[in-house]
Amino acid sequence: MARRAGRALRRTSRSTAEVSLLRFLAGKGKDMIVYDISMPIFRGMPVYKNEGKRQPDFERIRDYNEGAAETRLHIDSHTGTHLDAPSHMIPGGLAIHELPLDALVGECRILDLSYVEDRITADHLRTEDIAPGEFVLLKTRNSDVEGFDPGFVYLAPDAAEFLAGVPVRGVGIDALSVERNQPGHPTHITLFRGGVLVLEGLRLSGVAPGRYFLVAAPLKVIGMDGVPARVFLLESSLQVSYRTRQTAGY
């Protein structure tokens, strides 16, 4: 099985993201830092609007006296750190498994928006020199809050229009949603229609603003409107030249 997988990997041509990751890793071993920017998933964790129906549940369906431990996970598709799919808001929109994995692996930049009080607007982003194809992670005061804050900092519709206009390939935020349930969900819909990937529920308090190598790995569940993802950043103390992706959209 392993040999077969190996052959399959060799047959596959490497994507831009894969090549730049290999370059990043080459010879850098101990100089590399991995930042896990994912939320832990547990009963009692912060969930959107603190609604009990969104709490995860874990059901032990087999135990050691039956040969092995096995647990069934009952979790909302938008639990913790997760990737949104356009089908979350747009009937017939793309589902999680149809989104390009290579756009979730590559260079990214954490923007320092910790000074923003209420919502991130286009004016906050205009001064950041955001380039086409960038994946931007918005670090706000949300990262310092442990529980669910109903007044969390979100992305205003004009900021979504700005990002879709650049266009960036993705945006991540340290809130469980990129907007606070605005009527019609204009922020989500603008990003989805603009082909911008949306990561929510990031934890950025322990990471300084700047450039990193992003790896976001959503579970490959067919047909989902969103799915939890393990998201981490790689940083090297050595100078690394990244190749900037110019592709955006899906």
Using CB under 5 A, list all residues that contact Zn ion. 78, 84, 200, 226
Q: Which amino acid is at 205?
A: S
CB neighbours of 7 closer than 8 A, spacing ≥ 6? none
- Of 226 and 240, the one with the shorter C-beta distance to Zn ion is 226
Nearest distance from C-beta of residue 168 to Zn ion, angstroms: 18
The least distance separating Zn ion from the CB of residue 165, rounded to whole angstroms, comes to 22
- Report in angstroms how near the CB of residue 133 gets to Zn ion at its nearest: 23
Considering the complex, state which of residue 84 and residue 134 has its C-beta at the smaller distance from Zn ion.
84
- Least distance from C-beta 173 to Zn ion, angstroms? 10
Contacting residues for 27 by C-beta, under 8 A, at least 6 apart: none
Phi-psi region for residue 182, left (φ > 0), alpha (ψ -120 to 50) or beta? beta
CB nearer to Zn ion: pick between 16 and 142: 142
CA distance 31 to 133: 27
Closest residue to Zn ion using C-beta atoms: 78
- Tokens found for residue 56: 């995860």
CB of 225 to Zn ion, least distance (A): 8
Q: Which is nearer to Zn ion, 78 or 185 (CB)?
A: 78
Q: Which is nearer to Zn ion, 28 or 230 (CB)?
A: 230
Whichever of 181 and 244 has its CB closer to Zn ion, that residue is 181
